[in-house]
Structure 1
């Protein structure tokens, strides 16, 4: 990661974008502003940012559409996306997370909340270097190179899914509650809701493909990673 993280702000209201930019600059970030999806794509094609602050309501393509597109692009798939929106209902939050957002900020928000969320997704994006490669059955994870494979085939995981899988593999067969996963994977990020864990587990299973059954739901308790599920459909 670069010493000065770059934040792409995709926001069509100049006053809000300028306020965010000023606060980011004062706190050690380099802001780049794009007023719509076309301008944002142009910036992404030039240089990948470290984080994207993406407004839900934009002229032309919506923030949801942009998030889905960038998550499907191998080049931008790993860039953390924080959705900015006035929509505060849980279904809307889930829709944003399902579209590929890593986090969600409801307007109006404080500068400190925004900075905390940005720092949190940057921490989650950084590969874990605690220990050597982990293998559970045919599933292998190398925290140093940030690579995951199943039966010798490479898998592509987003930064949060990688950290979630790393934790589950290091504690295989143990049941983890959503609260425990929030503490261990998201750390001191107090704004994350437990429902977010379910969304990222779903995304992790999709990325694991044939190995998805290894991530089990333990009804009423949480999740665990087990070799017993590796041969299940």
Structure 2
């Protein structure tokens, strides 16, 4: 039994630390990302080994929750092979019959594991202990992507050194897209995050349109539409 995001109300909570969830199962990734956001963490997601390396290079994460069976990620799961100038803590999601191979590699203080089927309470508790032992969150307090900067303490956003005049709804939308950079978010996901309820497609399209105009005045396009699926934020590899 995994548990549900609502279980976080009385469980271990974060203080804005960055956590990257690396799992190729969409249901597991969505559950963990939603739960950790509700618990007070800033969350990013990755669905493949190569994507994890990219995300770790783009942002400084305090901890990675990683499926030990994620293709192409065995080196990171065992704490090796990171081509970044820092070393995040690692929490492994591992099948019980795989522990014999993992335990000799875990070491102490920087890595830990939970077995499947995992419980949300245990995941939150292990994350809390790992981050506590590291002395708290990374020093970087702002959310960044390329030349885009969000300052949560001041609830302000800027791009290329210039402030973006955003409404609260636009800021919540931009922040949600940024912490899930390169991931397509559906209209329903966006609506429930921004307003706490599902609203009609027209309301979401208008909000995205307003944010896109403000965001793209200061640089190349970062907010993209995946027709029939939703929206995503990031550099377009096609250059469009």
TM-score by length of 2: 0.46
Q: Name the one with the larger helix percent.
A: 1
TM-score by length of 1: 0.47
